[in-house]
Amino acid sequence: MLYSVAKLVPTVAQADAALDSRPPLLLPMLVVVPLATALLIAAAPAARARTIALLGTLVALVGALAAMLVFRWGEPGFQLACEFSWLSHLGINLSMAVDSVALMLVALTALLGPICVQASATAITDRVKTYYAWLLILQAAMTGVFIARDLVLFYICFEFTLVPMFILISLYGSTNRKKAAIKFFLYTFTGSVIALAGLVYVAWFNSHLSPAVINAVGAELWQTFPKLGKWTFDIATLEQAAQLMSGRQQAWVLLALLAGFAVKVPLFPVHTWLPLAHTEAPTAGSVILAGVLLKLGTYAIFRFCLPFCPVAVVEYAPLIGVLCVIGILYGGLICWVQTDVKKLVAYSSVAHLGFCILGLFALNHAGISGSILYMINHGLSTGALFLLIGMIYERYHTRSMKELGGLAARMPVWATFMVFFTMASVGLPGLNGFVSEFLCLLGAFQASTAWGSATGITAEGALDQGLWGSAGAAVPGATPGNLGPWFAAIAGIGMIVAAMYLLYMVGRIVWGPLVEPKGHDHAHDGDSAHSALPVDLCGREVGVLIPLAVLCIALGVYPKPALDALSEPVKSVVMTVNAARSTVEPSAMTTAAKEEAAQ
């Protein structure tokens, strides 16, 4: 059976593109500039590599800022569209465009670029050219994922991120780097190949759609999506087509997509590559891994799973919610018994991204908005934590909490930043983490059909109805869904666990009596290894942390612009999902709708 889930909002304003006076090549530039810089680095002498890399990433950052400036934030749909024909006869084109979600993540990627370059200044002294070149290529690939509007382009970029990351880990990582790199590559690669199968299936399904089916849904769809029923990899078209799949087909596609994307996120129980990769990667690698690479998974779930298979998503949301909740508590508790501080932060990502996915699968406005903000915020705060740990590692060459302690006495500036970003990570209100975490939990809390209908009867009405819970009770803040308060409550325990392990970490390495590794003495240390670094942070290191700290405060104190900007894309996803919901769950229909149906 085919479900008629037509979304009549045109998503790509291609007609407007001609009238658009904005620079059309802005988005491709964001990919090309890092790539060109990488080539330049390969050609230039090693001593200049970092300078060139820094300039290149800064140019890309300026480009991203320019894109944010010309982007019309209030408008729905994708903007700054740009398309080059590539393998057109196969329906594959280099088409790029961004909505506010993608643009925010592009900006995050661009921001982390120069930060990573600067953070590597003293950490990477060997094979510098290779390092920076691959770092830049990685940035290009990640940007490509976010701006792609063609499935093949998306997938190529998505997979290509593995190569630079593999090289960064296996060449510049610590002791166990080979194993970590291989595991990272094979694990995520295996998953993505399955996801590819799912994506190709959607394309195949579209190419085999009979015109009659499409006409049954609505002939006007042809105008907006002329490629419906033809062989194409245009994401907007496939999004429409995929919704015509039966519930069973959607379930399989969802499974395939999640196989790829959930590994990337990573969702419990497919997370085990992450701690290893994080621990072994060089600092900048960890920052990118936590900051952007994991977000490829969450972004892909938002971009593909939700709108492609809404029916299956509605059906399986509780299952995924359970996995998230397990991940939050399980990951959090594991953090608590780590001795390697980097591994602790790595496992914290498992817990944190559990919140993110939980919010996403709340399938309501608060949850999804919170989840997208979570992607940004986690990138900022966890990225910063990895930077801070990297700074310690450069000085002491250990990450073991048994060998380090009370560093506040030695490095007050570092300690200040450490406490700050820990608090951001704990989700202290006023800093960025809170807004997203609260909204994710609120989304999960609201999303339950058990609350009753969401028709917005006042308290007065509820009183007349008698007890809460029966149909028609006053629950204006509830949304349909299958999660509900218990998911939020149990996931909320994760907030306590987060405080436990993060304060344990801070209590261990920041506070307490000073402990430094044996044989380590700054005063007499004259060898070249650390002569470049002062006892406390140097200007370059502070400069790396300041932008992140400023953004943490800004997003915590004034998240409104971001929330407003996310409104449109989230609204369209929620609409798609709710339309699907009414077809699968008649019980989710509002009382008013039921009455209408009865008449």
Residues 256-295 contacting other proteins, CB under 8 A: 269, 271-273
| C-alpha span between 435 and 445 (Å, rounded) | 15
Which residues, including other chains, have CB under 8 Å from residue 409's CB and lie 6 or more apart? 514
**In the complex, minimum distance from the CB of residue 234 to other proteins, in angstroms, rounded to a whole number:** 27
Query: What single string gives the DSSP state of each residue in 136-170?
Result: HHHHHHHHHHHHB-BHHHHHHHHHHTHHHHHHHHH
Residues 400-429 contacting other proteins, CB under 8 A: 406, 408-409, 412, 419, 423, 428-429
267 DSSP assignment? P
**In the complex, minimum distance from the CB of residue 125 to other proteins, in angstroms, rounded to a whole number:** 26
Q: Which CB sits closer to other proteins, 52 or 407?
A: 407
**In the complex, minimum distance from the CB of residue 562 to other proteins, in angstroms, rounded to a whole number:** 9
Among 32, 36, 200, 333, binds other proteins (CB under 8 A): 333
- For residues 574 and 363, the answer to whether their CB atoms sit within 8 Å is yes
98 DSSP assignment? E
Residues 451-490 contacting other proteins, CB under 8 A: 451, 454, 456, 458-460, 462-463, 466-469, 473-479, 485, 488-489
| C-alpha span between 374 and 265 (Å, rounded) | 12
Signed CA dihedral, 460, 466, 472, 476: sign only:
positive
Q: Which CB sits closer to other proteins, 29 or 497?
A: 497
**H helix intervals, 361-431:** 365-396, 412-426
| C-alpha span between 151 and 165 (Å, rounded) | 22
Q: Which CB sits closer to other proteins, 318 or 485?
A: 485
Q: Which CB sits closer to other proteins, 187 or 304?
A: 187
| C-alpha span between 527 and 536 (Å, rounded) | 17
Q: Which CB sits closer to other proteins, 124 or 274?
A: 274
**In the complex, minimum distance from the CB of residue 400 to other proteins, in angstroms, rounded to a whole number:** 16
Q: Which CB sits closer to other proteins, 247 or 266?
A: 266
Name the one range near other proteins by CB under 8 A: 81-89, 100-108, 281-289, 329-337. Answer: 329-337
Among 32, 66, 500, 554, binds other proteins (CB under 8 A): 500
511 touches other proteins (CB under 8 A): yes
**In the complex, minimum distance from the CB of residue 511 to other proteins, in angstroms, rounded to a whole number:** 4
Residues 516-555 contacting other proteins, CB under 8 A: 522-524
- For residues 573 and 302, the answer to whether their CB atoms sit within 8 Å is yes
**In the complex, minimum distance from the CB of residue 508 to other proteins, in angstroms, rounded to a whole number:** 9
Q: Which CB sits closer to other proteins, 21 or 175?
A: 175
| C-alpha span between 424 and 552 (Å, rounded) | 7
Which residues, including other chains, have CB under 8 Å from residue 554's CB and lie 6 or more apart? 432
Q: Which CB sits closer to other proteins, 14 or 455?
A: 455
| C-alpha span between 393 and 528 (Å, rounded) | 16
**In the complex, minimum distance from the CB of residue 571 to other proteins, in angstroms, rounded to a whole number:** 6
272 DSSP assignment? T
Residues 556-595 contacting other proteins, CB under 8 A: 557-560, 563-564, 567, 570-571, 574
CA distance from start to end of the chain: 26
Among 74, 226, 507, 586, binds other proteins (CB under 8 A): 507
Residues 192-211 contacting other proteins, CB under 8 A: none
Helix (H) or strand (E) holding 81: strand 79-87
**In the complex, minimum distance from the CB of residue 61 to other proteins, in angstroms, rounded to a whole number:** 26
Name the one range near other proteins by CB under 8 A: 8-16, 31-39, 93-101, 508-516. Answer: 508-516
Q: What angle do CA 554, 560, 562 make, to 5 degrees?
A: 80
Among 73, 222, 231, 336, binds other proteins (CB under 8 A): 336
| C-alpha span between 73 and 90 (Å, rounded) | 33
Residues 35-54 contacting other proteins, CB under 8 A: none
Tokens 């849904």 found at? 217
Residue 191 has φ and ψ, to the nearest 5°, of -60, -45
3-class DSSP state for residue 542? helix
| C-alpha span between 498 and 377 (Å, rounded) | 15
- For residues 99 and 78, the answer to whether their CB atoms sit within 8 Å is yes
- For residues 328 and 354, the answer to whether their CB atoms sit within 8 Å is yes
Among 430, 534, 543, 586, binds other proteins (CB under 8 A): 430
74 touches other proteins (CB under 8 A): no
Q: Which CB sits closer to other proteins, 117 or 392?
A: 392
Helix (H) or strand (E) holding 60: helix 49-70
**In the complex, minimum distance from the CB of residue 510 to other proteins, in angstroms, rounded to a whole number:** 8
226 touches other proteins (CB under 8 A): no
212 touches other proteins (CB under 8 A): no
**In the complex, minimum distance from the CB of residue 178 to other proteins, in angstroms, rounded to a whole number:** 14
Residues 345-404 contacting other proteins, CB under 8 A: 365-366, 369
Residue 448 has φ and ψ, to the nearest 5°, of -150, 130
**In the complex, minimum distance from the CB of residue 398 to other proteins, in angstroms, rounded to a whole number:** 20
Among 187, 302, 308, 421, binds other proteins (CB under 8 A): 187
**In the complex, minimum distance from the CB of residue 462 to other proteins, in angstroms, rounded to a whole number:** 6
Total of chain residues touching other proteins, rule CB under 8 A: 82
Q: Which CB sits closer to other proteins, 61 or 329?
A: 329
Q: Which CB sits closer to other proteins, 271 or 395?
A: 271
Query: What single string gives the DSSP state of each residue in 110-131?
Result: HHHHHHHHHHTTTT--SSHHHH
| C-alpha span between 504 and 533 (Å, rounded) | 27
Among 311, 370, 374, 379, which residue's Cα sits nearest to residue 588? 311
> Per DSSP, what are the bridge partners of residue 98?
79
Q: Which CB sits closer to other proteins, 548 or 562?
A: 562
435 touches other proteins (CB under 8 A): yes
514 touches other proteins (CB under 8 A): yes
- For residues 454 and 479, the answer to whether their CB atoms sit within 8 Å is yes
**In the complex, minimum distance from the CB of residue 563 to other proteins, in angstroms, rounded to a whole number:** 4
Residues 299-328 contacting other proteins, CB under 8 A: none
Q: Which CB sits closer to other proteins, 343 or 378?
A: 343
- For residues 497 and 329, the answer to whether their CB atoms sit within 8 Å is yes
